[in-house]
Amino acid sequence: MSRAIFEYTKTVLKKVSFNVDLFCKELKKALEKLLPYEVDELKIWLEEFTANRPELYISLEMVKLK
């Protein structure tokens, strides 16, 4: 079941990536709900996803603090 939540989280983050505030809000919620190994996977995904989106680099800082 948690794998579905991880995939859903990525879908939501992709859809709200047009707005930095929404993206950070959804990322914060995801970090609270995901399992530790899923957070590690999300970090990797975020690095790839934000590579060409400098406005979302702030989200990387949120993940590093976790």
User: Taking the complete model, does pTM exceed 0.85, yes or no?
Assistant: yes
Q: Distance (Å, rounded) from C-alpha 31 to C-alpha 33?
A: 6
Q: What is the residue-level pLDDT of the chain in tens, covering all 66 positions?
A: 568 999 999 999 999 999 999 999 999 999 999 999 999 999 999 999 999 999 999 888 888 866
